[in-house]
C-alpha cells in the first residue's frame, strides 16, 4: 500500500503501521495507519559480542554473537492526518492492558515514484514512548505538526528490495 502522494510531496519516508494481533490496537483497523516523516533515526541493530575462552585453542578467545539490541525509532518532522494513528498514540499514553503493540514498515522513497523503494525497514511490537509536537507559529503556514515520535520496539530488520 503506497502512502498518499500529497503526503510525500515534502517527505522522503513513509511509515505504515500494521496490526499486531496481540490486542489493544483494534482502533487502528479503522484507518489507513499512515504517516510521513522527513527524518528517521534509530535504524540500528547492535549485536553484543560474547568472548569464550576455549581450552586447547591458543589463538585467543572465540567470538560469538550474544543478545541483539535496538535503540528506539525516532521519527522527526512529520505528519499523520489519520485519526487511527492518533488513537494508537492515545492508547499507548493510557497504558491500559493489553498494550497496543504494533508492527510497522518504514519505506525510503526515491524521487522517481515509479522506481522501487530505496530501502524498507520493518519493526516488530512497537509502542509510543514520546510525542513532541512542533511549536505552533501562525506566521508560518508550512509548520510541521509533529516534531518527534519515539517508538520502542522488539526487533528491527531490513527487507531486500
Which carries the bigger pLDDT value, residue 8 or residue 75? 75
pLDDT given at position 50? 95
pLDDT given at position 1? 43
Which carries the bigger pLDDT value, residue 27 or residue 159? 159
Which carries the bigger pLDDT value, residue 34 or residue 136? 136
Residue range 85-135, pLDDT digits in tens: 777 788 888 887 888 888 888 877 766 666 677 788 999 988 889 989 877
Average pLDDT, the chain: 78
Which carries the bigger pLDDT value, residue 84 or residue 49? 49
* Cell numbers 531490513: residue: 158
pTM of the entire predicted model: 0.76
pLDDT-derived band at 8 (thresholds 50, 70, 90) equals very low
pLDDT-derived band at 2 (thresholds 50, 70, 90) equals very low
Q: Does the pLDDT of residue 84 top 90, yes or no?
A: no
Amino acid at each position: 500500500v503506497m502512502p498518499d502522494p500529497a503526503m510525500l510531496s515534502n517527505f522522503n519516508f513513509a511509515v505504515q503501521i500494521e496490526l499486531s494481533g496481540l490486542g489493544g490496537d483494534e482502533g487502528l483497523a479503522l484507518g489507513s495507519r499512515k504517516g510521513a516523516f522527513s527524518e528517521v533515526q534509530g535504524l540500528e541493530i547492535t549485536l553484543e559480542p560474547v568472548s569464550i575462552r576455549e581450552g586447547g585453542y591458543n589463538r585467543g578467545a572465540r567470538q560469538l554473537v550474544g543478545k541483539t539490541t535496538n535503540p528506539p525509532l525516532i521519527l522527526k518532522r512529520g505528519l499523520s492526518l489519520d485519526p487511527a494513528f492518533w488513537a494508537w498514540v492515545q492508547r499507548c499514553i493510557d497504558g491500559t492492558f493489553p498494550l497496543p503493540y504494533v508492527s510497522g514498515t518504514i519505506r525510503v522513497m526515491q524521487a522517481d515514484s515509479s522506481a522501487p523503494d530505496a530501502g524498507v525497514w520493518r519493526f516488530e511490537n512497537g509502542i509510543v514512548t514520546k510525542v513532541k509536537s512542533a511549536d505552533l507559529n501562525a506566521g508560518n503556514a508550512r509548520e510541521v505538526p509533529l516534531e518527534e515520535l519515539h517508538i520502542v520496539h522488539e526487533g528491527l530488520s531490513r527487507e531486500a528490495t
